[in-house]
Structure 1
């Protein structure tokens, strides 16, 4: 590689702090327009809906808390149209492109990329390279406390508020359910293990960003990414999003850990 990357991909799991990072990068006006481009399901062209996170779950005490499915509209874009749109929409005028990818979205990315001409391979890394070029900066945002992460996601799938603080009336409609949280805990833990396996298998060494450090000093973590992109780290703004966690979050986390007899956080570098 003869120059700094002009594209970056934030790799994460849901409720890990990745939105805080990408929205702060977007706010610089120089670090692309990072979106979750790869989340849309082909049968609906919608992001996974609350009930789709609970596929196979039959417990009505969980399902009653989740909105009904919306049908959406099946995707009709060709692979070339998909690639052209993402390359264009994700880039700022200086040519820097930004995006975000969750592990559950990787099959969608590779399936779309399979239709591109002159593919270099069939695996995830080749799909990313064929879409964005060979020199992509990978940024891994992770959260060791997956119990807290699962509680956050359980509240979000009920309120459908994924960024910023929910209206108190909307948040009040969310109900604690140990089974719902445990289901998401298992999904999030396995996704994080899958990312770490992929880093080893694909020989990827991302910038590592811990949720706790990102939350406590957002500006410094954003500056690290900017510097790796050969952009001015002084562009890093103060935090652009309000934290959703509150006293209710803490209460639910403590209650869930009691109900589940304690759950060990996934240690950094752990694998299946």
Structure 2
């Protein structure tokens, strides 16, 4: 079955070339297969450059919180489908859950809104299977910094801390503005989706959780009704460092001066949701 092309334009970035991340979707990182449905499901609902991969790696390493990766990213659907013998979205999703549910029965996944929309349009029957006990809404308060990070990643193709920049970044206010508008649009989509589905939402700001990962994991465990400490073996998954340097800081300061109206609008939005 043709799962279609990656909706990179909708997501706000080009399809990344990340062989290191691709390896995480291979069989070497599966849990022991299970035929039982997950006892508990959660979703990281986020936007690009909000630290979602770092949070996902922290949750995965814990051992008892599943392996929350971008399983509905068409790139990874095409990568995983052959070994799962998937005949379409439904069998694909069942195959993912069978191999990426932690030993205690917890399944998690990370989702950007355009992937959710695309999957829903192509297979409406999948949507009920995506319902989660908890939606972890990860957002970034500093939308200008997020837009700068996205614009820079698009230019350099360095989507993770272990990736080298393929080209030198060049400041482009119009590009940053486009990224900012795309991010704000996706936040509105998430707010509408949560309201429409009546999702149980835990909102976490990027600025609050970095450096407090142990505390955040404890909060997530409590919301899922899990023991306070992991009762499963930890998983050896490489962590991601923060991608921040003087260049990004200079771009943020410059954009706030050159586009004060947009900067003000982004600041006024504040936290999109509350826990």
TM-score by length of 2: 0.71
Give the superposed CA RMSD. Answer: 2.9
Contact 1:41 1:108 in 2 (8 A): no
Deviation of 1:6 (Å) = 0.7
Residue in structure 2 matched with residue 252 of structure 1 by the alignment? 251
Relative to 1, partners in 2 of residues 1:111 and 1:89: Cα closer, same or farther, differing over 3 Å? farther
Q: CA deviation at 1:233?
A: 3.6
**Where does residue 150 of structure 2 map in the other structure?**
153
**2:21 match:** none
Alignment correspondent of 2:223 = 228
- Cα offsets for 1:36-62 (capped at 9, x unmatched): 1112169x958xxxxxxxxxxxxxxxx
> In 2, are the aligned partners of 1:33 and 1:89 still within 8 Å (CA)?
no
Matched, 1:86 2:86: no
Name 1:173's counterpart in structure 2: 168
- Across the two proteins, how many residue pairs are aligned to each other? 221
Alignment map for 1:24-43 (pairs within 5 Å)? 24-40=58-74
* Superimposed CA distance per residue, residues 28-85 of structure 1 (whole angstroms, 9 cap, x where no aligned partner): 111111111112169x958xxxxxxxxxxxxxxxxxxxxxxxxxxxxx8423332222
Instruction: Tell me: CA distance 1:32–1:184, structure 2 relative to 1, closer, same or farther (3 Å).
Output: same
Paired residue for 2:27?
none
Q: Which runs of 5+ in 2 are unaligned?
A: 1-37, 80-85
* Partners of 2:170 and 2:228 in 1: CA distance: 41
For 1:172 and 1:217, how far apart are their aligned partners in 2? 33
1:102 maps to which of 99, 103, 112:
112
Asked whether the equivalents of residues 33 and 97 of structure 1 are also in contact (C-alpha less than 8 Å), the reply is yes
Change (3 A) 1:98 1:208: same
1:201 corresponds in structure 2 to 196
- Alpha-carbon shift at residue 112 of structure 1 (Å): 4.3
Offset from partner CA, 1:106-141 (integer Å, 9 cap, x none): 212213432x4xxxxxxxxxx443x25x55211101
Call closer, same or farther: CA 1:233–1:165 in 2, change over 3 Å.
farther
- Please, what TM-score do these two structures have when normalized by structure 1? 0.72
Q: Which has the higher helix share?
A: 2
Q: 1:182 aligns with which of 177, 181, 193?
A: 177
CA–CA distance in structure 2, aligned partners of residues 106 and 135 of structure 1: 13
Would the alpha carbon gap of residues 41 and 28 (structure 1) be closer, same or farther in structure 2, given more than 3 Å must change? closer
Deviation at 1:172, TM superposition (A): 6.3
Instruction: Name the residue aligned to 1:164.
Output: 161
Distance 1:160-1:77 versus aligned 2 partners, 3 A rule: farther
Residues 205 and 95 of structure 1, relative CA distance in 2, 3 Å threshold: closer
Relative distance call for 1:165 and 1:253 in structure 2 (3 A) is farther
